[in-house]
Chain A
Amino acid sequence: MAGSIEHEIAIGRARELESVPILEKIHEWVVTVDHKRLGLMYICGGLLFFVVAGLQAVTMRLQLAMPNAGLVPPEVFNRLLTMHGTAMIFLVGMPILTGFFNYLVPLMIGARDLAFPRLNAFGFWLWFFGALLLYFSYIAGDGLYGAGSAPDVGWFAYAPLTERAFSRGNSTDYWILSILLTSVGSTATAINLIATTFSMRCEGMTLSKMPVLVWLSLVVSFMMLIALAPLSAAQVMLLLDRFVGAHFFDTQAGGSAVLWQHFFWIFGHPEVYILVIPVFAFASEIIPVFSRKVIFGYAVMVAASGAIAFISLSVWAHHMFAVGMTPAGNSFFATSTMLVGVPTGIKIFNWLGTIWGGKLRLQVPMLFCIAFLFQFLIAGLTGIMLGVAPFDWQLTDTYFVVAHFHYVLVGAIIFMIFAAIYYWFPKATGRMLSERLGKWHFWLFLIGFHLTFDTLHFAGMTGMPRRIYTYQPGRGLDTLNLVASIGAVLQAVAVLILIINVVRSLRSGELAGDDPWDAWTLEWSTTSPPPEYNFATPPVVRSRRPLWDLKHPEDPDWRYE
């Protein structure tokens, strides 16, 4: 019995080593329903758009490096900022993070695949073509009117700018359809992850023994179900407005522009947590392994994430203080915004508690985690500043806001995506990434990040509005912007080093083995890369660290839990 399984593994290995014709290989990837392949396709697709949208950001930074620069005309600049924002959220953040969950959740709970593998493939292809649609607008956005190219309405696309009368051509339609499709794809993934977590756990893996990452994927999936639906609903309304003459956001027929803002931010604020809770999940897996300690406060960690998810559904209108709400409304949303800082603070202290007294291994994934802790703290603090309504009135729509949310999106999320890439790359490919290039990547990106986004806080407080394509000299903005642009170039170079690192490692990286980090969760118990069926025999789990139990039969965790 056992012999035949080993035999199968040997056949599988032999088949991998055979040289398969390229077309057949592509075909295999297109028709696959394997959660690992789809996960990798999500991540690779996301990284591709990360490079494209990143280059768009660099273009904007170059334009703003000097006053009165003429690199891009204003209408092109508007398209750049819209495409950069939309792409980074829906084409980069969402797919990379769901890609990691796709890849890791079944492995971590000892399952063969997700609950609905074909739904998973369906979700991926919806996302993929939705993503292509956004950039296709550069070619087809003209429509029959010969007006417009790519969307230029900003990533939150306030009404009534998006109505037919003000947004001619089809550029805005591409924006709507792209977001609608990618959101439906993400919803499919969320349903799949929830069903997988509840129905596919291996023997002994009770809910309280799941890795923190699996718990947080569950929390995020529920958030996606509740938060993506309002966005899709609002997009459907906008489509009805634009194509069949409905009046949802048509102010001339009594429609409300503020209603769009509410609907968008009911999605928009939870979205921040949909993006950041997955990177909390990465940190909760990586920090313990590199501190050689179990995670501090497992139950509190999970509960805090649940609390964040719950509170974050009631903070949306802090994006709308400048609209002019009632004092009661302002107070409510300011208070709930402060409140969300409490569970977030608990999480930061738990990670510090995990590091405290540990035998630290300062390898690349851990370096990114440490930077994440500091930067996420600062991002949270500026968030609380902006949560104070009068302060927000002063600084709304300035570069202070831009700097704040880039501290979250880059300083926390992108940093932790890099950490996760360095940590799980050996599992997915069987080869290590170079530690030396990784350190170059880390330090260059860290310095570049701080040059750009620290200074932009000050540019914002000096009064620089967001979304301007240029500014006049002698207003105290010249140096700040130049420094910020230099930082952007450094970050681009750092990403180039990552790409070189990945390509080199795929060719000739050091072989990783099954468990290069001496980790404790189930994905490290199978081969690298894992076989299509994940585990030759279904694992049986008795504690939160099944691999520790296997490696230390004399002192297993289940004695203490």
Chain B
Amino acid sequence: MAAASAIASTPALAWKATLPYRGRVGVIALILTESAFFSIFVVAYIFYIGKSLTGPFPKDVLSPPIVNTICLLSSSITIALAVRALRTNSIRTFTIWWFVTFALGLEFLAGTALEWHRLIYREGLTISTNLFGTTYYSLVGLHALHVTIGLLLILLVMIFTVLGYMDRRHIERTDVLSWYWHFVDAVWIVVFMTVYVIGR
């Protein structure tokens, strides 16, 4: 009976194997809609470059956050290494790279916080100062919000790891989370180019 049903279900299982993992399709769809969302803010930023009626202006107060950028972009590499380690079930290596990813993300967020603190208290630039402030804080803030969400999810996986729940069975979900993180990093490249290169 058991053998018969196993044979009967073989084509069904073979069929299932041809279908993509639903989480992966879901995250690709999410990335698509988030890209559209970000692109509107980027368009608004570019549209308002040089249209501020009063200062401070970008070239006076902005300097490219190189260290921050290096940290965030390398976190993409470390999360990929972590996922690869999980795939071969080497949990120790996974844990190390995962923690490094979290630390790098946290550094980025701290760097943004310091930059904002300087801009607000030293340069007197707030969201209501001029069009530059309006577009700068909303675009960079929107990206920082996404970094924060990503860090919370990474933290969740960290907790599971510490509690000893992580193993190869969770590779698909962890991989999907890493895709989101890669997206957040890719957005930063666009934001960096818009704000610190074109916009200055």
Contacts and interface: CB of A to CB of B under 8 A. Distances in A.
Contacts of A1: 5
B128 A248 contact: no
A233 B40 contact: yes
Interface in B36-75: 36-37, 40-41, 44, 47-48, 51-53
A240 B127 CA distance: 9
A195 B22 contact: yes
B131 A247 contact: yes
Nearest to A256: B47
Contacts of B26: 115-116, 191-192, 194-195
A476 interface: no
A246 interface: yes
B151 to A, nearest CB: 21
Contacts of B11: 203
Contacts of A227: 36
B155 interface: no
Interface centre among B5, B20, B128, B134 (most CB of A within 10 A): B134
A190 B33 CA distance: 10
B22 A199 contact: yes
Given A199-B19, A228-B33, A254-B52, A244 B25 contact: no
B21 A199 contact: yes
B30 to A, nearest CB: 6
Interface in B1-46: 5, 11-12, 15, 19-23, 25-26, 29-30, 32-37, 40-41, 44
Contacts of A192: 26
Contacts of A538: 12
A20 interface: no
B138 interface: yes
Contacts of B138: 236-237, 240, 246, 248
B36 A229 contact: yes
B32 A237 contact: no
A234 B133 CA distance: 17
A79 B8 CA distance: 63
The CB with the most chain A CB atoms within 10 A, among B35, B40, B138, is that of B40
B130 interface: yes
Nearest to A115: B22
B51 A254 contact: yes
Contact of A198 (B19, B34, B137): B19
A237 B131 CA distance: 12
Given A115-B26, A230-B36, A247 B19 contact: no
A502 B11 CA distance: 43
A240 B44 CA distance: 14
Contact of A240 (B22, B30, B47, B134): B134
Given A229-B37, A263-B40, A115 B25 contact: yes
| Most chain B CB neighbours (cut-off 10 Å) among A199, A226, A255, A263 | A199
A266 B134 CA distance: 22
Contacts of B130: 247, 253-254
B44 A248 contact: yes
B29 A190 contact: yes
Interface string A256-267: 100100010010
Contact of B128 (A115, A196, A203, A245): A245
B25 A254 contact: no
A51 interface: no
A485 B96 CA distance: 72
A191 B37 contact: no
A215 to B, nearest CB: 16
A245 B127 contact: yes
Nearest to B32: A225
B4 to A, nearest CB: 10
Interface in A169-210: 187, 190-192, 194-196, 198-201, 203-204
B40 A229 contact: yes
A330 interface: no
Given A230-B36, A234-B40, A240-B127, A253 B53 contact: yes
Nearest to A258: B47
Contacts of B41: 233, 237
From A246, A255, A256, name the one whose CB has the most chain B CB atoms within 10 angstroms.
A246
B128 A246 contact: yes
Given A203-B11, A244-B127, A247-B131, A116 B29 contact: no
Contacts of B20: 198-199
Contact of B131 (A115, A198, A230, A254): A254
Interface in A47-80: none
A232 interface: yes
Given A195-B22, A200-B19, A230 B33 contact: no
B25 A199 contact: yes
A194 B27 CA distance: 11
Contacts of A256: 47-48
Contacts of A259: 44, 47
Contacts of B15: 203-204
Nearest to A240: B138
Nearest to B34: A229
A101 to B, nearest CB: 15
- Interface pairs A-B: 5 shortest CB-CB: A245-B128, A229-B36, A233-B40, A225-B33, A199-B22
Given A203-B15, A225-B33, A247-B128, 16 more contacts: A187-B33, A190-B33, A191-B26, A195-B25, A195-B29, A201-B19, A222-B32, A225-B36, A226-B33, A227-B36, A229-B37, A237-B138, A246-B133, A254-B130, A259-B47, A263-B44
28 contacts: A115-B25, A116-B22, A190-B29, A191-B30, A191-B33, A194-B26, A195-B26, A196-B22, A198-B22, A199-B20, A199-B22, A200-B19, A224-B33, A225-B32, A226-B33, A226-B36, A228-B33, A229-B35, A229-B37, A230-B37, A246-B128, A247-B130, A253-B131, A254-B53, A255-B48, A256-B47, A256-B48, A259-B44
